[in-house]
Amino acid sequence: MSTGVRGRRRPAVPATAVLAILTALTALTTGCGGATMTTNDGHDRHDGQSEHGAHEAAPRDGHGTAPVAEKPVETARQETRALSERLLELAAPADGATVTDPGPGVDVCEEDPERERLFTMYHAWGLHRLPRQELEQAMDRLRQGLPAQGWTVVEDGVLANANRSPHLLLENAALHFAADITLAGRGDSSQLQITLQSACFSTPEGESPRGEF
């Protein structure tokens, strides 16, 4: 990502966006059944899947599903960052933007609370310190350009908040990711907030995601 302010706190996303991401990620596990998710701090959501190979995590209420792919955590982390880079390149903000980027994170799959094999990836970052009009243009470029890169628009509207924040929700079934994009704030304090959230992955046999969270 471009240089900018770095931190650990994840930007807040309204509850309506949380529910929308949940709906989108349910469709990501093509051929693997639906996904369920939990919420942490009101911004990042993490879907739950069930057993993979030798993994014997009991599916919740009998409705667990297999992870969508097997890969090492570091591979998933690099792929998540590369995906954010592509979104940033497409948004192509003008010079002078600040990218708030704490880096991709790893979180727990609901169906594997002991973190034996399963994990999800998220990456929450934002663009700010630009005139709102330029952030609107960046959002429009994502709206128009992402479908040509395999993304499907799930929602395109405004959030039910005081600012009526423009909001996009997209999913990419081939990549097993959803993208939540919100133009938050007002005027010069506006920020384009982007969160990538994956479906559930599994580490290779003999590897564990413990210590990566």
C-alpha span between 151 and 58 (Å, rounded): 32
pLDDT digits (tens, 9 = 90+) for 144-189: 999 999 999 999 999 999 999 999 999 999 999 999 999 999 998 9
What backbone torsions phi and psi does residue 60 show, to the nearest 5 degrees?
-65, 125
Q: Are 88 and 3 in contact (CB under 8 A)?
A: no
Q: Are 177 and 94 in contact (CB under 8 A)?
A: no
Q: Which residues of the chain have pLDDT under 70?
A: 1-65
CA-atom Rg of the chain in angstroms = 17
pLDDT digits (tens, 9 = 90+) for 107-117: 999 889 999 99
Q: What is the residue extent of each domain of the chain?
A: 73-91+98-202
Q: How confident is the model at residue 141, as a pLDDT?
A: 96
